[in-house]
Amino acid sequence: MTRFSNIALAAAATLCPLSAGADNLTTTVTNSYGLPGGLIDMPTAEMAPDGQLSATAFYFDGFGRSTLSFQITPWLSGSFRYSGTEDLTPQFSTYYDRSFDLKLRLLKEGTYTPAVAIGLQDFLGTGLLGAEYLVASKSFGDRLKVSGGFGWGRLGSRNNFDGFGTRDPFSFAGVGTGGDVDTSNWFRGDIGVFGGFTYDITDRLTFAAEYSSDGYDIEQAAGVFRRGSPYNFALTYKLTPDANLRVYSLYGEKVGVSLSFGLNPKNMPVPGGIEQAPLPVAVRDPESARDLGWATQPTARNALSEQLQDMLAKDQLDLVGLELSDTTAHVAINNTTYDQPAQALGRTARIMTRALPASVETFRITFSEKGGMPGTTVTLRRSDLERLEHAPADQTLAAASFDDSLRYGGMPAPVVDRFPRFNWAIAPFTRISLFDPDNPVRADVALRFEAQVELGKGWVADGGTSVKLFGNLDKTTQVSNSRLPRVRSDAAIYAREDGPRLDWLTLSKYHRLAPDIFARATVGYLEQMYAGASAEVLWRPVNSRLAIGGEVNYVQPRDFDSGFGLRSRRTVSGTIPEFNGHASIYYDFGNGFHGQLDAGRYLAGDWGATISLDREFENGWRIGAFATKTDVSAQDFGEGSFDKGIRITAPVSWLLGTPTRQSPTAVIRSLTRDGGQRLNVRGRLYETVRPSRQTDIADSWGKFWR
One domain, residues 292 and 146? no
One domain, residues 296 and 333? yes
DSSP 8-state class, residue 662: -
One domain, residues 106 and 163? yes
Q: In which region does residue 703 sit, left (phi positive, over 0), alpha (psi from -120 to 50) or beta (all else)?
A: alpha
One domain, residues 310 and 223? no
* Contacts of 224-229 spanning 24+ positions with Cβ under 8 A: 224/62, 224/63, 224/85, 224/86, 224/87, 224/88, 225/61, 225/62, 225/251, 225/253, 225/254, 226/251, 226/253, 227/251, 227/253, 228/252, 228/253, 229/253
For residue 117, give the 3-state DSSP assignment. strand
One domain, residues 186 and 80? yes
Q: What is each CA distance from 224 to 59, 60, 219, in whole angstroms?
A: 14, 11, 5
Note the pLDDT of residue 256. 93
With 50 as the cut, is the pLDDT of residue 212 above it?
yes
With 90 as the cut, is the pLDDT of residue 456 above it?
no
One domain, residues 10 and 116? yes
Q: Is residue 182 part of a domain?
A: yes
Q: What is each CA distance from 609 to 182, 631, 634, 687, in whole angstroms?
A: 20, 9, 15, 20
Q: Is residue 666 part of a domain?
A: no
Total number of domains constituting the chain: 2
Question: Does the N-terminal peptide bond of residue 420 adopt cis geometry, omega within 30 degrees of 0?
Answer: yes
Residue (of 526, 531, 534) closest to 558 by Cα position: 531
Question: Considering the chain, what is the average pLDDT of its residues?
Answer: 89
Q: Which of 263, 279, 309 is the last residue of a domain?
A: 263
Q: Is residue 465 part of a domain?
A: no
One domain, residues 242 and 296? no
Residue 415: other Cβ atoms inside 10 A? 19
Separation between Cα atoms, residue 422 and residue 462, nearest integer Å: 10
With 80 as the cut, is the pLDDT of residue 605 above it?
yes
**Model confidence pLDDT, tens digit, residues 144-197:** 999 999 999 999 988 888 888 888 887 665 565 666 777 888 999 999 999 999
With 70 as the cut, is the pLDDT of residue 121 above it?
yes
In degrees rounded to 5, what are phi and psi of residue 276?
Answer: -60, 140
Helices (H), 134-216: none
Q: What is each CA distance from 638 to 83, 199, 482, 628, in whole angstroms?
A: 20, 47, 5, 14
One domain, residues 239 and 295? no
Q: Is residue 591 part of a domain?
A: no
**SS percent in the chain: helix, strand, coil, step 5:** 15, 45, 40
**Model confidence pLDDT, tens digit, residues 78-107:** 999 999 888 888 878 888 888 999 999 999
Residue (of 222, 223, 245, 215) closest to 41 by Cα position: 215
In degrees rounded to 5, what are phi and psi of residue 286?
Answer: -55, -35
The per-residue b/e assignment along 174-200, b for 16 or more CB within 10 angstroms, e otherwise, is: eeebbbeeeeebbbbbbbbbbbbbbeb
Q: In which region does residue 141 sit, left (phi positive, over 0), alpha (psi from -120 to 50) or beta (all else)?
A: left
With 60 as the cut, is the pLDDT of residue 8 above it?
no
One domain, residues 159 and 252? yes
Residue 294: other Cβ atoms inside 10 A? 17
Note the pLDDT of residue 13. 44
Note the pLDDT of residue 437. 66
With 80 as the cut, is the pLDDT of residue 117 above it?
yes
Q: By mean pLDDT, which of 240-249, 283-292, 374-383, 604-613 is the weakest?
A: 283-292
pLDDT band at 586 (very low <50, low <70, confident <90, very high): very high
Residue (of 549, 454, 555, 553) closest to 510 by Cα position: 454
The one-letter amino acid code at 339 reads D
Q: Is residue 173 part of a domain?
A: yes
pLDDT band at 331 (very low <50, low <70, confident <90, very high): very high
One domain, residues 199 and 306? no
Name the residue range of residue 45's domain. 3-263
Separation between Cα atoms, residue 549 and residue 545, nearest integer Å: 14
Q: Is residue 395 part of a domain?
A: yes
Separation between Cα atoms, residue 249 and residue 233, nearest integer Å: 5
**Model confidence pLDDT, tens digit, residues 674-683:** 999 999 999 9
Q: What is each CA distance from 522 to 296, 456, 461, 580, in whole angstroms?
A: 46, 15, 10, 15
Q: Is residue 375 part of a domain?
A: yes
pLDDT band at 45 (very low <50, low <70, confident <90, very high): very high
Beta-ladder partners of 334: 318
One domain, residues 387 and 249? no
pLDDT band at 7 (very low <50, low <70, confident <90, very high): very low
Supply the CATH number for residue 390's domain: 3.30.300
Q: What is each CA distance from 330 to 360, 458, 513, 650, in whole angstroms?
A: 10, 19, 22, 34
Whole-prediction pTM value?
Answer: 0.90
In degrees rounded to 5, what are phi and psi of residue 22?
Answer: -70, 145
Residue (of 392, 390, 363) closest to 379 by Cα position: 363
One domain, residues 18 and 86? yes
Supply the CATH number for residue 191's domain: 2.40.160.40
With 60 as the cut, is the pLDDT of residue 220 above it?
yes
For residue 278, give the 3-state DSSP assignment. coil
Q: Is residue 478 part of a domain?
A: no
Q: Which of 230, 263, 296 is the last residue of a domain?
A: 263
Separation between Cα atoms, residue 405 and residue 373, nearest integer Å: 10
